[in-house]
Amino acid sequence: MAQRIVVNLDGVARPLGDDVPGELRWYLEEYLSRPYAVYADRGERVGSALAGWGERLFETLLPHGLPGTRGDRRTCDLVLRSGDPRALGMPWELMHEPGRDVPLVCDGGTLTRTLPGFGPLGVHDVPVARLRVLMVISRPAGAADVDYRMVARPLLDRLASVAAGVDLVVLRPPTLQRLAEVLAAARDSGRPFQIVHFDGHGVRPVPGRSPGLLLFEKSTGGPDRVPTEAVGRILADAGVPVVVLNACHSGAVDGELEATVATRLLRDGVMSVVAMAYAVYAVAAAEFMTAFYARIAAGDLISAAMRAGRERLRDHPTRPTPAGPMPLADWLVPVHYARHDVRFRCSLGYRPAPDGPGDDFVGRDALFQAIESALHRDRAVLLHGIRGIGKSALVRAYARWWVNTGGSTHPDPVVWHARGEWPVIAGRLVIWDGFRTGDGEVRRLARAAREHGGWLIVTGWTFPETLTGTLPGMRVGGLDPAERIELATRLLGGSGWDTPQTLALVDELDGHPHSMRVLLPQTAATPAGELLARLRGGPPPPELAADVATGCATLSAVGQRLLTILGLQPRTADVAVLRTFSNLAETPSPYAKVSGWRWAWIMDQAARAGLVSFLSGDLYAVHPALPGHLAAAWPAPDREACRRSMLNSVARYAEWMIGENRGGDAAFVRELLAEQHRDLDEMLVYAAEHGLWLHVLAIGEPLLGFYSASGMVGKVRALAHRVHALIAAEPEPLPGLAPTRRMVAVLVDQHDTDHPAAPADITAARERHEANTTGPADPLTTAMAECHLAGLARQQGRLDDAARLGARSLDAFEKLGVPDALATAYHTMGMIRVDQGRYDEAEECYRKAIDLGGGAVTWHEAGALAQRQGRYDEAESRYLRALAANTDGGHHSRAVGNCLQLGHLALQRDRVDVAEQHYQRVLDLAERTSDQPSQARAYQGLGNVALLHDRLDEAEQWMGRAMTIFQEFGDRYAIAMTHGALGTIAEERGEIGEALRHLIRAVSLFGPFPDPASGILPAGLLRYAVLAGRRDLTAAWREVTGADPPAEIWDLLTQAKNHERGTA
C-alpha cells in the first residue's frame, strides 16, 4: 500500500523565483507554435531545466527525502494542503527526486491538493452501472476561440476502444440554465452524471469581488461570465462528485486561476477536481483523458487515474508543430484537487489505450463549434466551399459526433436527404450533401426544422442570394495551420519534414484536404519540388486535374476563355485587381476592356462550379490545382504579356494598401494580406527578376510589413536575400546602384536583421530617388511612386520633402484624370498638412478626397482632425459616418478603429458610460477578427473607464490584459502608457513606491531622460519622486533598471519641489 505524506504549504518558500513561472508557461503554451531560431534554443533550454527546477521544488518540500520508500517506483501519495491559491498553484508536479530518472508523479507517486478544514483525505465510493460524462464545450467568441481545441472529439473516438459503458453527452446549448436543467433531469430519472467536464475559458479572480469565473455562453450568443460558486451550487444540487476543467487558464498566473476555481468547487461540495494548469494541446489532452477515463472506468481512484494519464503523456510526448512532430514535456499540466479521492464502483472493463487517432478525419474544431451554434440559434446552416475542401467529410464526421454525444433522442436521428424527398424532420438532423439547385426546397426544409424541432445542414459549392440572405452560411476553407500539420504528419508518417520543398508543398496546398491526401504520399517517389512545379505551371497530377477539368467544362465559353487569367493568380482572385488589369492599355485580348461586373459574373460562375470560393468583398480563394490546369494550355507569349500587365495592376493594388496602412484601415489590409501574401510575394520576385524596381518598392512595403508584424522571419529573410541576390547580379555594382534599386535594398534591410539599414541610408536613398531622372516612362507609375515616397517621408518626419512629393503626385494624377489615385493623394496630403499644423489646408484636402470617393478611411481621418481642433460634435459625426460605411460594407476590422476612436473621444468629453459602450463593441468586433492589438487598446480603454469609476481592482485587471498583448507585439509606446496608468492606480491606492516603479519602467523604454517622445510620463515620475523622496527614488531606479538614476533627474526634481512649495 502506498504511503501517504501530508505537507502543509503555509509558510513554504517559493523556490523558483519570479522568472521561472513565466518561462514554464511560455514553454507549455507557446513554444511549439513557433519552434524556430531563438525560440528553438529557448525551448530546448527550458526543457533541459525542468529536472533541475523539479529538484529545487522537491528539496524545498521534502528536504529529508521520502521516508520509508524502497524499490524501483516511489509509490507514495503526496497530499499538499493550503488555503492560499498561490501556494497551491505552484507547479509541484515538477518535483523530481535527486538521483531519479523521472519526476515523482511519473515514478509511481500521486500528488493531490486539498484545503484546510476538510479533515483527512478519504475515499468516496460511487456505485455506477454506466459512467456518464456531461461535456460542456463553451466557445463564446466563436472562431476567435479556435486556439482552444475541442478535447471531446478525439476523446470520443478513443473511449469506445478502451472502456465499454461510458456515455459522453455534450451540453447543448452550453448555457448555465441548460446545465442546471440537464443535471436535474438526469438525477431525477435515476441516471445521474458522475462527471462534468468543462472545456472552455476561465477568468482570473478579482480580489474582494469574485473567486474566479467560468465562461458559459448566453442563449443569444456571447460570453456569460458565471461566478464559480454559482456553478458549484448546481453541481452540488445534482450530486456530481467529479469535475474536469480543461483549457481553463485565461489570465492565469502561477496556476492561480486553476487553483481558485478548483478550490471553490471543492468548498461547494464537489469531491474531486481535475484541472489543467496550462493550456493544453488537443492531442495531448486526448492522450491524457483516454488513459484517465479508461482507468476510472476500471475502478481506479481518481489520483491513480491521474498518474496513468501523466505517464501516458510522458511516454507519448510528440506534438504537431509547423516544423514537424516535436516532443513536449506537458505531463505536468494535469493537476488534482480533492476533498476526498473518488472511486467509481463499476466493472466496465479496461483495455490499453491505442496509439494514434481513431479515424482519419482531422481538425475542423472551429467549424464544428460554428455549426453547433448555428443549429442552436437558427436550426439550419449552409456550408459552402471549393471542390475537395472536405465538406462531405465534415458533415459525415459531424453526424457521427451528433449521434454519439446525445444530439437527439430520436431512434433514427440523422437523415441523408436527396432532392425531391420529404423526410420526417421532427427531432432529426437532415443533411443535404451536394446542393446544386432547389433553393425553394431548402427554404421549406429550414422552415420545417424550425417549426417541428429538427435541424438542417446543406452543403454546396455556393448558394444563391435567395438562400444566403435568409439562412446562416459559412465557408469551409482550408485546414488551419495546426490542422494541416496534423494531417501532413499522418500522411508522411512523421518523416520528410526536414526538406524545404516538402514544407513549401504543404504551404502551397493551403490546407486543401483532398490535394494533401493525393500529393503528400507521392513525395515518397516524386520530389516535392517537382509536384510543386506541376501545381504552378501544369499539368497537375491526373487525380486533381480531372476534378478541376470537370468544373471548367460547366462554364460558358466566355467564362472558360477569361478564367485562364487565374493561371497568374495561383491562390486568390481579386475582382478589383482584375478590373484594373483589364483597364490597362497594355493588357492583351481577350482580357482588355472587361468590366468589373463581367469579372464578378465569371467569378460567380467559377464558384458555382466549385473552382473558387468567395472570401469577402471582391476576393475569392482558388482551387490549388486550377492554376496549373489552366497554365498547361496557355501559350507562353500571351502568358508573359499578361503577367507584365498583371504586375502593374498588383502594384497599384499595393499602393492602395500602403495608403490604408498609413491613414486608413491597417487591420483590413492585414486580413487581405493573410490571404494574398503568397501571390504578392511571387509578383514581387517576378518584378525584381525583370529589374522593375518601382514595382518591387510598391509591393514590398505592405508585404514586408505584414511578414514582420506576423513574426514570419523566414519569409522576410528569404525574400530579402533573393532581392539582394538579384540586385547584385545586375551589371552595375552595388555602390553605384540606380537610386530606385538602392531604395529597394534599403526597404528590405529595414525588415531583415541580416542586412540592417541605418536611418542615414534610408534618407540618402530617398534623396537619390528624388534626383533620379532615368525612371520609367510611365507617368502613372512615377506618380504612384512619388505618392508612396511622400508617405515614407512623412513617417520619417521630413515634412517639407513629403509635401513637395505629395504636391507633384497630386499634379500628375489631376493631369492623368485618375479619380481613385487622386483621392489617395489628397488623403496623403491631408495627413502631411495635419503634421505640419496647417489644419485648414488639411481640412480642404480631406473634403476633396471625400468628394472623389475617399470614403470611410478619409471620414475617419477628418474626424481625427476635428477632434484635434476641439470640434467634438463634428468629430463624432465623422467617426459615425466612417463606422456606418464600414458596418454596411461588412468591414468589421475597419469598424474596430472607428469604435476605438469614438471611445477615446467620449472619454475626452467625460462621457464615461458612452466610452464603455464603444470599447465593449471594440471587444466584440476585435474578437471576431482576431485583432489582438485592438483588443489591447479596448482593454486599456476599459481600464481607464474602471479607473474613473474608482473600480481599481478591475482597472488593474484590464490594464494587465492590455500589457500582455502590447508586450507580445513590442508596442513600446503603448507599454509605457499602460505603465503610466498602472502608476495612477497604485497612487489611488496610496502605494506611491509602486507608482514610482511603474513610471520608471515607462520612461526607461525611451531615450535619455527626459525624452520628449515619452510625453507626460516624466512629469508624473517627478511628482511621485517628490512624494517618495530622494532615497526611495534611487532605490526604485536601481531595482527597475539596475543602474543609478540619470544626473538630469536631480535638477528636475529640485525644480519640481520648488514648484510644489510655490503652489502650496
Among the listed residues 986, 1047, 1044, 1058, the one whose alpha carbon sits nearest the alpha carbon of residue 1020: 986
Q: What is d(CA 17, CA 877) in angstroms, rounded to the nearest whole number? A: 52
Contacts of 879 (CB under 8 A, 6+ apart): 859, 860, 863, 898, 901, 902, 905
Q: How many CB atoms lie within 10 A of CB 2?
A: 16
Q: For residue 802, what are the contacts with CB-CB under 8 A and spacing of at least 6? A: 790, 791, 793, 794, 832
Q: Is the peptide bond before 15 cis (omega within 30 degrees of 0)?
A: no
- 319 in Cβ contact with 360 (< 8 Å): no
Q: Do residues 82 and 40 touch, judged by C-beta distance below 8 A?
A: no
**pTM, two decimal places:** 0.64
What is the topology classification, in CATH, of domain 538-634?
Arc Repressor Mutant, subunit A (1.10.10)
Local structure of 90: helix, strand or coil? coil
* Amino acid of residue 474: M
Reported CATH class of domain 971-1064: mainly alpha
The CATH code that applies to domain 123-345 is 3.40.50
Q: What pLDDT, on a 0 to 100 scale, did the predictor assign at position 160?
A: 61
Note the helical H segments in 469-564.
481-492, 500-509, 513-519, 528-537, 542-552, 557-563
- The CA-based angle 703-705-708, given to 5 degrees, is 110
- The boundaries of every CATH 1.10.10 domain in the chain are 538-634
Query: For residue 542, what pLDDT is reported?
Result: 86
Q: What phi-psi label fits residue 952: left (phi over 0), alpha (psi between -120 and 50 degrees) or beta?
A: alpha
Task: Tell me the DSSP string of 959-990.
Answer: HHHHHHHHHHHT-HHHHHHHHHHHHHHHHHTT
Contact (Cβ atoms closer than 8 angstroms) between residue 1013 and residue 1006: yes
Opening angle at CA 1001, ends 997 and 1003, nearest 5: 115
Distance between CA atoms of residues 167 and 272, nearest Å: 19
Peptide bond preceding 590: is omega within 30 degrees of 0, i.e. cis?
yes
For 930, which DSSP code? T
477 contacts 616 by C-beta, under 8 angstroms: no
CA distance 478 to 385: 9
702 burial (CB, 10 Å; 0-12 / 13-18 / 19+) is buried
Distance, in Å, from the CA atom of 400 to the CA atom of 360, rounded to the nearest integer, reads 13
Q: Which three cell numbers stand for residue 617?
A: 468583398
Please say whether the beta carbons of 943 and 984 come within 8 A. Answer: no
CA distance linking residue 1021 with residue 998, whole number of Å: 9
Between CA 373 and CA 361 the distance in angstroms is 21
d(C-alpha 248, C-alpha 137), whole Å: 11
CA distance linking residue 218 with residue 226, whole number of Å: 10
Three-state DSSP class for 380?
A: strand
CA distance 800 to 787: 14
Distance between CA atoms of 328 and 317, rounded to whole angstroms? 5
Please check whether residue 343 is in contact with residue 124, taking contact to mean a CB–CB distance below 8 angstroms: yes
Starting at the earlier edge strand, list the strands of the sheet with 619-622.
572-574, 619-622, 612-616
Give every CB contact of residue 182 below 8 A, 6+ residues apart in sequence: 134, 169, 171, 193
The pLDDT assigned to 776 comes to: 42
Can you list the positions of beta strands (E) in 659-809? Answer: none
Strands 242-246 and 272-276: parallel
**SS3 for 957?**
helix
Residues 383/462, Cβ–Cβ less than 8 Å: no
Domain with CATH 3.40.50.300 in the chain: 365-475
- Residue 40: partners with Cβ closer than 8 Å, 6 or more residues away: none
pLDDT, residue 701, reads 85
| Spans of the chain, pLDDT less than 50 | 146-148, 248-254, 350-351, 353-358, 733-737, 753-777, 1064
Please check whether residue 193 is in contact with residue 234, taking contact to mean a CB–CB distance below 8 angstroms: no
Phi/psi of residue 9, nearest 5 degrees: -85, -10
Q: Does domain 365-475 have CATH number 3.40.47.10?
A: no
**Dihedral angle sign, alpha carbons of residues 157, 158, 161, 163:** negative
Start-end of CATH 1.25.40 domains in the chain: 971-1064
Question: Hey, what long-range contacts does 521-525 have (CB within 8 A, 24 or more apart)?
Answer: 521/491, 521/492, 523/492, 523/496
677 vs 704: CA distance, rounded Å:
9
C-alpha span between 624 and 543 (Å, rounded): 13
**The predicted structure's pLDDT at residue 958:** 87
